[in-house]
Structure 1
Amino acid sequence: MSLPRILLDCESLKDRNSGFSHFVVPLAHELIRQNTRYQLYCYVPPQEVGGLGRQGVRYLTQRSFHKYFNPASYGLRLWHATSQLSWYVPTSPLTKVVLTVHDLNFLHENPDERTYTRQLAMVRRNIRRADYLVTISDFVRQDILRHADLLGYTGRQPLRYVPRGVEDLASVPLGHVPAYVPRRPFLFGLGTINSKKNYHVLAALLQGTDYELVLAGSFAEADYVATIRAAAAQAGAADRVTVLTRISEADKTWYYQHCLAYMQPSLAEGFGLPVVEAMQLGKPVFLSRLTSLPEVGGAAAYYFDDFSPEHLRQALAAGLARHSPARAAEAQAQARQFSWAQAAADYLTVYQELLGR
Structure 2
Amino acid sequence: MMKNVVVDFSHIGAMCGFGEISRNYCPRLAAAKVPGIHFIFIVPRAFFGKFGDHIDYVSRENKEEEMKKWKGKIDLWHATDQLFKYRMRGDGIISLLTIHDLNYLKEKKGVHRIKHIFKTRWRSHCSDYITCISNYVKDEIVKNINPKGKGLQVIYNGIQDIEKQKQSRPAFVAEGEKFFFTIGQVREKKNFHTLVPMMKYFPDMKLYICGDPHFKYVKSLQALVDAEGCGRVVLTGKISDEEKNWMYAHAEAFLFPSRLEGFGIPVLEAMRLRCKVFSSRYSSLPEVCSSHATYWDDYNPESMAKVVADGIATWQRDGKEADEAYEYSRGFSYDEYTRQYVELYTKLLAEGK
C-alpha displacement of 1:238: 4.4
- C-alpha displacement at 1:329, in angstroms? 0.7
Structure-2 residue corresponding to 1:10: 9
Question: Which runs of no fewer than 5 residues in structure 1 stay unpaired?
Answer: none
Partner of 2:135: 138
Structure 1 Cα separation of the partners of residues 128 and 91 of structure 2: 11
How far did residue 337 of structure 1 move?
A: 1.1
Kindly indicate whether the alpha-carbon contact (under 8 Å) linking 2:222 and 2:235 is maintained by their aligned counterparts in 1: no
- How far 1:179 sits from its partner (Å)? 2.9
**Residue of structure 2 aligned with 1:122, choices 119, 123, 128:** 119
1:342 aligned to which of 314, 336, 340: 336
Matched, 1:163 2:162: no
After superposition, residues 319-334 of structure 1 pair within 5 angstroms as 319-324=311-316, 325-334=319-328
Q: Secondary structure at the match of 2:200?
A: coil
The 3 A distance-change label for structure 1 pair 24 and 186 is same
**Separation of aligned partners in 1, 2:205 and 2:111:** 39
Match of 2:296 among 304, 325, 331: 304
Residue in 2 aligned with 1:61?
59
Which residue does the alignment assign to 2:17? 19
Which of 74, 80, 83 is the matching residue for 1:82? Answer: 80
Comparing 113-122 with 325-334, greater Cα deviation is found at 113-122
Higher mean Cα deviation, 317-326 or 112-121? 112-121
- 2:166 corresponds in structure 1 to 172
AA at the equivalent of 1:134:
T
Secondary structure at 2:201 match in 1: coil
Question: Residue type of the partner of 1:27?
Answer: Y
Which letter does structure 1 place at the counterpart of 2:85?
Answer: W
Q: CA RMSD in A?
A: 2.2
The 3 A distance-change label for structure 1 pair 65 and 254 is same
What secondary structure sits across from 1:12 in the alignment? coil
Change (3 A) 1:125 1:70: farther
How many corresponding residue pairs?
344
TM-score scaled to structure 1, two decimals? 0.90
Q: Which residue identity lines up with residue 120 of structure 2 in the other structure?
A: V
Contact 1:71 1:91 in 2 (8 A): no
Superposition deviation, residue 344 in structure 1: 1.1
> How does 1:42-61 map onto structure 2 within 5 Å?
42-51=41-50, 53-61=51-59
Q: CA deviation at 1:211?
A: 1.7
SS of the aligned residue for 2:11 comes to helix
C-alpha distance in 1, partners of 2:90/2:102?
Answer: 27
Match of 1:293 in 2: 285
Structure 2 unaligned residues grouped into runs of 5+? none
Instruction: Indicate how the Cα distance of structure 1 residues 178 and 161 shifts in structure 2: closer, same or farther if over 3 A, else same.
Output: same
Asked if 2 retains the 8 angstrom alpha-carbon contact of 1:137 and 1:163, the reply is yes
User: What is the rounded CA distance, in whole Å, between the counterparts of 2:89 and 2:341 in structure 1?
Assistant: 22
User: What are the within-5 Å matches in structure 2 for residues 254-293 of structure 1?
Assistant: 254-293=246-285
Q: Paired residue for 2:38?
A: 39
For 1:243, the equivalent position in structure 2 comes to: 235
Within-5 A mapping of 1:72-111? 73-109=71-107, 111=108
CA contact (8 A) 2:125 2:147 kept: yes
The alignment status of 1:199 with 2:196, answered yes or no, reads no
**Partner residue in 2 for 1:314:** 306
**Deviates further, 204-213 or 128-137:** 204-213
Q: Tell me, yes or no, if the aligned pair for 1:191 and 1:216 is still in contact at 8 Å.
A: yes
1:195–1:71 CA distance, 2 compared to 1 (3 A): farther
Among candidates 340, 344, 349, match of residue 355 of structure 1:
349
TM-score by length of 2: 0.90
* Distance in structure 2 (CA, Å) of the matches to 1:219 and 1:57: 36
Deviations 1:308-340 (A, max 9, x none): 112211111121123231111111012111011
Shift of 1:71: 8.9
- Retained in 2: the 8 A contact 1:306–1:312? yes
Percent identical pairs in the alignment equals 29
> 1:216-231 to 2 correspondence within 5 Å?
216-221=210-215, 223-231=216-224
The alpha-carbon distance between structure 1 residues 120 and 38, as it changes in their structure 2 partners (threshold 3 A), is same
Which amino acid counterpart does residue 80 of structure 2 have in structure 1? T
Please give the alpha-carbon distance, in whole angstroms, between the structure 2 residues aligned to 1:114 and 1:245. Answer: 32
Q: 2 CA distance for matches of 1:219 and 1:231?
A: 15
Q: Is the 8 A contact 2:169 2:247 kept in 1?
A: no
Match of 1:282, SS? coil
Q: How far off is 1:142 after superposition?
A: 1.2
CA–CA separation in structure 2 for the residues paired with 1:214 and 1:118: 36
